[in-house]
Every structure is written in C-alpha cells, then in structure tokens.
Amino acid sequence: TKRWNVDTNKEQNERMIIEAANELTSGGTVAFPTETVYGLGADATNEEAVAKIFKAKGRPQDNPLIAHVATKEQLMQLVNDVPAYVDKLIETFSPGPITYVLTSNGTSAANVTAGLSTVGVRIPSHPVALALLRACNTPIAAPSANLSGKPSPTTADHVWEDLAGRINGLVDGGPTGVGVESTVVDCTQDIPIILRPGGISKEELEEVVGTVMVDPALLHADSKEKPKAPGMKYRHYSPDVPMWLVEGGSARLQAVYDELVAEGKQVGILANRNTLEKLEVQQSISLGESLEDVAASLYDGLRKYKQGDVDIILCETYPQIGIGQAIMNRLKKAASRYVEE
C-alpha cells in the first residue's frame, strides 16, 4: 500500500493527487479523506475494481456503495428521474455530507448498487476528495475505509490499522471534519426519506424541503421492518472491547462504573468534557464539548480503547437533536448493551 501525505506544498500535492488518480483509473483501490470519514475508492464504472473494495473490507455483497462525483453534472450522468426537491437539496447541501439515493441509469457497475435499481450518489466537500475526483473524471465508488464491522476511519492511521497491505494506496489528508458519515436520503419518492442519519440533520433538511420522513426501521430498536439502506441492518462500529451505552447522565454513569470496578473490572469512560468533570474515574477519553465535537471524535474514541487496556467501555447518551441523531444511531449500533435509566 502506497501512502501519499498531502499536507505538504501545493506543487507536490498536485503530483500526488495525479498519482493516486492514475491508480484509481487503472483499476486500483485508494483510500482518501472526505469531510465525513475516509473512503476506500475504486472506479465505479469498473466492476473488477469495485470487487476489490468488497474483498479488502470483507464487506457483505448485498450492501451497495456510494458513488462519489465532483459536480452536479457528473451526478446527473448516473441517474434518471430526479424529483424537483433534489435540485433544492443539491443547491443547499452539496458539496457536503449528504447522499442522494436515485433511480440508476445503469452507468455504475452492477456491484456498486448491489443489484438494486437505485444508486447512492454524493459530492463530498473535502478539498482533497474533490481534487482527486476531478483528476479521475469518473465516478468513484467509496464505502468507509474500515474493515467491515469496525468503527469508520477519521484519520489515515485508522485506515492504515485496518487496511494496510489490502489496498493499493492511501492519501493522507489529516483528520476528517464532521466525523460521522453522510446522511443517506431516499429521493425516489414524493417525500424524501432519511435512510441513515448523518452529517446533515433532519431539521436542516426540513428547512429546505418541508416534510422529511425517517425510514421506520430506524426509529425503534425492536422494529421488525427491514431497513431500506441494506447497510443499516448490520451491526457496525464495534470497538475492540465491549461498550455499554448508559442513559441517565453523570450520576448514573458513576454508579455503573463503581459497580463494575467493585467486580474487579477495568473500565474506560467515553464522555464529553462537562460529564467528565463530574466523574471520579481512572481512565477516560474526552469527546469534546458540543455535539459537533462528539461527532468528530467519536470513532477515534471507540478505536482508542484496546483489549488489554480495559475490559469494558462505558459511554454516555446524547440528545437526539441535530447531529445527535447520527451520534445516537452509531452508538446504539456499537453498543453491546443499552443500560436504561
């Protein structure tokens, strides 16, 4: 796996981007930063190249990939029948952390869409991602660049830890910004439906297009409905040691911690700074202050606790407003146990 470090001078950057783009357009796999998480890219029109992504990640074959493009024109080249509200969404949120699920016109390779009649398309806003996509001038299929089941990568080192030796290249552009993946929106119906909460919140979408629905399968943990985004049915984001999600604020967190320590367990805490100030614990990782901070540092926090360091991670819950919806969606998937108040 070749590694390019792009935070040096501009001329070198351009050369590295061109090398990485050549690797992609000749059928290789290259991981690169986006504003959400690192993606593992391959030419979306090349079925053999796309197959390498599934192999490198150990990804289930029935889970479709997002096609990444640099412009609205390129996006339109992949799809049919775009409802009027999609124009508004694109104008407001793209480039940015949102993926549109639209009717595919068959341009993407069959394994990108996992045989579905729809394709997920997104225009990332990260300058390195955009430069790479422009240099490739072909849509790039890219899931998050982690081993299937692990927390998504928000630094190049996370990608390296999971995929070194399994992919052709890695463009290191430093830590990503948003930290949780894009919002996946089904735009094939009269009303947009959120299939995966992410970097753009439901509230933000509603300001632009009015009513927005949420896939009913996401709303209740015990829902028998099948999620419309195939990836949402899998358990994801599993840390190296079990994580319990603890409701009820700092007092409850302290109580659960004390009980586990009394049983002889080594316990690591994941919480924001305010909560940590109220706790008396041995090992903790701060997720920052705001919900935006928590989103940005969540996957790194989950990856930092390794087997041998602690037996169990305790993480607090967050209000499901704004990006809090994406945070709680990911935390519930990562948790092995939900400790109710």
Q: Is 73 exposed, middle or buried (0-12, 13-18, 19+ CB in 10 A)?
A: exposed
CB of 166 to Mg ion, least distance (A): 16
Cis status of the peptide bond prior to 83, with omega within 30 of 0: no
Is position 182 an interface residue for Mg ion (rule: CB under 5 A)?
A: no
Please give the structure tokens belonging to residue 256. Answer: 């659960």
Using the rule CB under 5 A, is 144 a contact of Mg ion? yes
> 293 phi and psi, to 5 degrees?
-60, -45
Q: Is the Cα torsion angle 149, 170, 140, 196 positive or negative in sign?
A: positive
Which of ligand TXA, Mg ion, none lies near 242, with the C-beta cut-off 5 to 8 A by kind? none
The pair of three-digit structure tokens given for residue 324, joined into one six-digit string: 């809090």
Positions touching ligand TXA (CB under 6 A) are 34, 36-37, 39, 63-66, 97, 99, 101, 113, 116, 118-120, 122, 124, 142-144, 181-182, 184, 195-196, 228-232
Strands 267-271 and 312-316: parallel
Shorter beta-carbon distance to ligand TXA: residue 78 or 310: 78
Q: Classify residue 221 by its DSSP letter.
A: T
DSSP letter for each residue of 154-191: SSHHHHHHHHTTTSSEEEE----SS-SPPEEEE-SSSS
In angstroms, how far is the first alpha carbon of the chain from the final one? 47
3-state secondary structure of 64: coil
Range in contact with Mg ion (rule: CB under 5 A) among 46-54, 56-64, 136-144, 252-260: 136-144
200 binds, among ligand TXA, Mg ion, none (CB under 5 to 8 A by kind): none
Minimum distance between the CB of residue 263 and ligand TXA, rounded to whole angstroms?
36
CA triple 158-161-163, angle to 5 deg: 100
Instruction: Name which of Mg ion, ligand TXA, none residue 119 binds, using a CB cut-off of 5 to 8 Å depending on partner kind.
Output: ligand TXA
Minimum CB separation of residue 304 from ligand TXA in Å reads 21
Q: Which of ligand TXA, Mg ion, none interacts with 196 (beta carbon under 5 to 8 A by kind)?
A: ligand TXA
Interface with Mg ion, residue 201, by CB under 5 A: no
Query: Which residue's beta carbon is nearest to the bound Mg ion?
Result: 144
State in angstroms the smallest separation of the CB of 260 from Mg ion.
30
CB nearer to ligand TXA: give 140 or 246: 140
Nearest CA to 338 among 245, 271, 256, 241?
245
Nearest-approach distance from CB 110 to ligand TXA, in angstroms: 12
Distance in Å, CB of 65 to ligand TXA, minimum: 5
Q: Which one, 97 or 268, has the nearer CB to ligand TXA? A: 97
Minimal CA–CA distance to 112: which of 17, 41, 22?
Answer: 41
Question: Do residues 209 and 85 touch, judged by C-beta distance below 8 A?
Answer: yes
Specify the residue, 36 or 272, whose C-beta has the smaller distance to ligand TXA: 36
Q: What's the token pair of residue 250? A: 């700092």
What is the nearest approach in angstroms of ligand TXA to the Cβ of residue 244? 24
Single out the segment in contact with Mg ion by CB under 5 A; choices: 67-75, 140-148, 258-266, 298-306: 140-148
Contact residues toward Mg ion (CB under 5 A) are: 144
